[in-house]
Chains A and B, each alone.
Chain A
Amino acid sequence: MTGLASPEWGGFDPARTRGGGWREMRHSFVTAIRLGWKMEANWTDPFLFLIYSVAKPLASALILVVMLDVISGGAKPEYRAFVIVGSALWSFVLSGVSGLAWMILDDRERYRMLKYIYVSPSDFLAVVFGRGVARIGVGAMGAAITLAVGVTFLNVPFDVGRIDWPLLATGMILGVTSILAIGLIMAAICMQTRQDSWSYPEAAAGALFLVSGVVFPLSVLPAAVQGVGLLSPLTWWIEGVRLALFPGGLSAVGGPGSLFGQLTGTAAPTSSEIVLVLLGTGAVATLAAVAVFRTSDRRAKDRGLFDQTTGS
């Protein structure tokens, strides 16, 4: 037998339909990351790409810094660090959530390749995740530069020697996994909606922004909304990274009048509590994402949505 020809005995070889397992999936994933990165970055020179990548998170942080300065006149430096870290980390969320959803919209509506990707031997989920990871890479650049600008130009107090590296590494791994899970849910939703859904991932991220303690402590929210925030893995991810980078800083989860304080009787969560809750909420989000994606996938196949294009 050679190449794609039939077996010598002339029949159908079912082994060919089984694929190459993990090795092949890893290959699809890595290829999708490379493809995603090239699609993001190869249209211009690296400097211009850097400007585009950091302008968005940096401007978001500056909006909040000016809001803070208008009211407090620079009297709350600890709050400035709180806002900068939250804004910087949020660029991961924006890029992760929109990355997966836009992969569906891009390939279905713009390049019209989604149906071909779907029927290719590559695992569809691996391709979707790979493209999302490439966009998270862009978000990471934005986050790093926003933090650097905050420390260098906005007087955010930062000491590399005080960083809690194990908490930072664990928090980032679990957090990025949770972001990808939420992105997968958005991808599943965009599979069902029309072309105008480009702004939906950002709208969803905007809503999560409210309940995740990104730029203000959850204690200013009504108790029920705080409860929703405590169920979000993003809240615990940001809390963990903030604690790792600025030990002893302002807590978004705890503090006076917080639901967390009322439930646990403690002022703020410890590192181990943060990791445990992040692990639990992240696992629930991941399982929910896979279930939602599989359901959406079946419905899209059933209704022919993979090759649907819409206009407005």
Chain B
Amino acid sequence: MTARADGRRTLDRPGRTAFVYRPTASPQEAAAWTRRQVAMTNLRTVVGRAYPRIIGLRRDKSWVFFEVLLPFLATSAFVFVYRALQAPPQYIGFVVLGGAMTAFWLNVIWMMAQQLWWEKSQGNLELYFAAPMHIMAVLFGMAFGGFVMSSTRAAAVLVIATTVYNVSFSVDQWVLLIGVFLLTLGALYGLGMMLASLFLMWGREAWHLTQLLVEPVYFVSGLNFPIARLGVLGSVAISILPLAVGLDAMRQLAFAGAAYPIGTPSPAIEALILGAMVVVFLVLARWTLLVLERLARSEGRLSVRWQ
């Protein structure tokens, strides 16, 4: 029998195997993990949960057609609406920027918010809770894998559409633009982590909520037009929706000096709003997860599928 087959990691440490971190005298002592042990397990959880999303890109190539080419055509439809209206060229740029950012939003609602409910339906959720890892690590893994998946689609749509429709960006503050982009992603995935727990509690309604969070959110986020046009509704969206505030800030930074109705806070202030959203959503995600875990354990609903 080889060292790997009998579970031994190192032959020079007697009693230590892939399944036993250190030899212990009792189960209680074995359950008292070191900080390093906890951290490494959670890190492995993040990598393990991100793995199928990243490796899936290579194994099933159908996404190239369905998640790059077709969304590019959908974005093009809005470009042609503006062309039919003979709109100024910066509006075409707004559509392209919005089209790229939808990749992240769709990923957040389909593959973050809905995921725990989906895992419950598939029977995996009880295993997640039973495994010796923090469930936040699972959510971070989902977010990282989803971010990689969506980045490919967003970059492809941005590059292809910019080239085909001859969009010219005018950026004065690259650092702030990159910072706003990263903060937007942080806030989006933080929101997704929070919604994951809420959707799980809402059960079957989650599916319909996912539907509700696509076009209506595009509308109130000013996906293809300056959000200032929406007045109070736009202001409310900027204060609660990362997509709305992130898009508006990126629009201001990527089309500096372009003429269009602005009337929203400056990009620096919007970056602060996004920073606050990152913190708030992550804290709320942690809290909702605790509530969910308590409810799930006390009511035994983790293994009840399709509710």
Contacts and interface: CB of A to CB of B under 8 A. Distances in A.
Given A193-B62, A206-B71, A309-B122, A217 B110 contact: no
Contacts of A63: 215, 218-219, 223-225
Contacts of B77: 206, 209-210, 214-216
A173 interface: no
B204 interface: yes
A199 B215 CA distance: 14
A199 B85 contact: no
A194 B215 contact: no
B contact patch SS? helix
Interface string A45-65: 000000010011101101110
Name, among B80, B91, B204, B218, the residue most crowded by chain A CB atoms within 10 Å (CB to CB).
B80
B230 interface: yes
Given A56-B215, A311-B52, A203 B74 contact: yes
Contacts of A55: 211-212, 215-216
B141 to A, nearest CB: 12
A111 B204 CA distance: 13
Contacts of A43: 203-205, 208
A220 B80 contact: yes
Nearest to B224: A67
Interface stretch (A4-12, A68-76, A235-243, A282-290): A68-76
A67 B67 contact: no
Contact of B214 (A56, A221, A312): A56
Contact of A52 (B70, B82, B110, B212): B212
A200 interface: yes
Contacts of A196: 56, 60, 63, 111
A111 B121 CA distance: 8
Given A44-B205, A196-B63, A210-B76, A312 B306 contact: no
A71 B208 CA distance: 33
Contacts of A59: 215-216, 218-219
Contacts of B122: 109-110, 309, 311
Interface in A60-116: 60, 62-64, 66-72, 76, 79, 109-111
A281 to B, nearest CB: 19
Contacts of A197: 62, 66
Interface string A173-208: 000000000000000000001101111100110110
Nearest to A91: B215
A164 B200 CA distance: 48
B251 interface: no
A199 B102 CA distance: 12
Name, among B62, B66, B91, the residue most crowded by chain A CB atoms within 10 Å (CB to CB).
B66
A203 to B, nearest CB: 4
B30 interface: no
A203 B62 contact: no
Contacts of A215: 77, 81
Interface string B68-92: 0111011011101111111100010
Closest 9 CB pairs of A and B: A206-B74, A203-B70, A207-B73, A59-B215, A216-B84, A59-B216, A210-B77, A59-B219, A71-B85
Interface of A: 43-44, 52, 55-57, 59-60, 62-64, 66-72, 76, 79, 109-111, 193-194, 196-200, 203-204, 206-207, 209-210, 214-217, 220-221, 309, 311-312
28 contacts: A43-B203, A43-B204, A43-B205, A55-B215, A56-B212, A57-B215, A63-B224, A63-B225, A66-B225, A66-B230, A67-B78, A67-B85, A68-B85, A70-B87, A70-B260, A71-B82, A71-B87, A110-B118, A194-B56, A196-B56, A197-B62, A197-B66, A199-B106, A215-B77, A217-B84, A220-B80, A220-B84, A311-B124
Interface of B: 52-53, 56, 60, 62-63, 66-67, 69-71, 73-74, 76-78, 80-87, 91, 106, 110-111, 118, 121-122, 124, 145, 203-205, 208, 211-212, 214-216, 218-219, 223-226, 229-230, 260-261, 306
Given A207-B74, A210-B74, 9 more contacts: A56-B214, A59-B219, A67-B78, A67-B224, A70-B91, A111-B306, A193-B62, A200-B70, A210-B80
